[in-house]
Amino acid sequence: MDTKYHKLDNSGGDVKSINTIPQTTKLFILHVFKAVLNIPVTCSKFCRSIIYITLFFVTLSSISVLISNGKAKMNFRPTPHTPLLATTHHVQPLKCIADRNQPEWPRPVQTDNKSNNNLTVVIVTARPEFKRLSVTMAALLSHLDSRRITEVMLLVPPKDIHLLQPHFPVEYKKYWPWTISIVPDDILLKHIKTDSYRLQMMFKLMVAQIVKTEFYLILDSDCVAVWPIHVEQLLHQNKTSSLYQSIYKAEDRSVHEKWWIESERLIQVKLESCVPNDKSKTSLIGVTPSILSRTISLRTLCRLQKLYDDETFLTKMANWELSPPKPDHMWTEYTLYYITGRCTQLFDTYHINDSSLLSSNSMPKVDLYGLSIWSDKDWTKENQNKLIDSINNGLRWRQKEIDEANGQAIIDKSINEHSLFTVLQGRHNVDTKLYHQYFYPLYMKYLQEQKQMDKLVPLIEYMAQQFRN
């Protein structure tokens, strides 16, 4: 089969500007300022105090929106809120016990055995990102081999679940190649007025409490598969034990140095004591998409719970109270995770750098993500066409696997490495509708030619139609 899509013209795609403060907020601020300027002389001190306090909080909220917009990828609505009103607490208690060898790093109580060689896929999403899901799901249907996939889980705020349910009807469950579920995120954390990027990061660690496998692949709605995904290429059995190790995307500390500094401060370890800024010594973990170990994720949370008490650390983290409110100075789920993994010496038990696999076999290097659109500077005609070529090549190779190996992996030894995902971010003025316009048809044409997908294609098309506007 030959799935193709025409190359783009010289327009390079449209770029739209993003208004960082909603128009209604602007008008409200304007009216308040006018009210202050026209305060009657007879207005009492109490009257003036009320006006000044109102103006202060409105201005503070607007600054909060301005700081957050365009700086961090947000699946949740950037709702300004007063920290004292925002509370977050566990629904499922995090049970931790002292570790005999490392008393400062308590470990989670293991309640049951988790599958070691299977993988759970977790998509953290919310209503503002549902417009991207049709591309995300079409790409996964095209590329995600169902073998050794325990579940594909969509972690969603409870207030948004009713919007997704019509697109995943119960009677169609048998047609999906893997078990798929929509999980309300409030089974992990109860949160009030904390719909934010920081909460999204917390969920990527918290979900370790409910996954049924040791390893889980974290995706956002902007992570689009471009190459066949087989668990045996992601999880490799340790030669000296029965444990498996997952690959990870290597990244230098200098790429996001301030994130590492802030995370070390938050988790209270000496600067660079566990994670040195030395390229020759170690490669650090990247960003989403990423494969995490539930053991290290829960160990990270146990450390934070020990440092900041059982419940209060969640509320403080949700409100940035444990971190300066600067977009480039912030802890992240992955920096906290990696620091914990290194400080406890667990990281190399559960992860393996893919480059070390190359010396023992002739397999091409597998990267979790490669060419991506991080900002409008990346949205060039050249990159657009490269992505189209990458998607077409991946779909052709997947068809080859289906035709010749019943969908099992066929290794393409003609290349040195390939990337499984591209990240198509919508911040920094790139219109996300362009992603749908250019890339969605590639996957749908492929799926329409697969007989086993005839029941699911209309569901994806309905999803695209409902959430596109």
Domain ranges of the chain: 23-69, 96-467
From first CA to last CA, the distance across the chain in angstroms is 32
- Which phi and psi (to 5°) does residue 87 adopt? -125, 145
C-alpha atoms less than 13 angstroms from C-alpha of 257 in its C-beta half-sphere: 7
Classify burial at 278, counting beta carbons within 10 Å of its beta carbon; exposed 0-12, middle 13-18, buried 19 or more.
exposed
How confident is the model at residue 197, as a pLDDT? 73
Low-confidence ranges of the chain (pLDDT < 70): 1-87, 89-91, 111-113, 192-196, 254, 279-283, 310-313, 316, 318-329, 354-362, 427-429, 469
Q: What is the spatial distance between Cα 112 and Cα 109, in angstroms, rounded to a whole number?
A: 9
Greatest Cα pair distance in the chain: 86
Q: Model's pTM, two decimal places? A: 0.81
If one counts every other C-beta atom within 10 angstroms of the C-beta of residue 257, the result is 12
- Which phi and psi (to 5°) does residue 185 adopt? -70, -10
Among 327, 300, 295, 325, residue whose Cα is nearest residue 313 = 300
How confident is the model at residue 262, as a pLDDT? 86
How confident is the model at residue 13, as a pLDDT? 47
C-alpha atoms less than 13 angstroms from C-alpha of 423 in its C-beta half-sphere: 17
150's tokens: 């325990």
Among 363, 419, 412, 361, residue whose Cα is nearest residue 389 = 419
How confident is the model at residue 87, as a pLDDT? 66
Contact residues for 322 (Cβ-Cβ < 8 A; gap 6+): 266, 308, 313, 316, 331
**382 near 10, Cβ under 8 Å?**
no
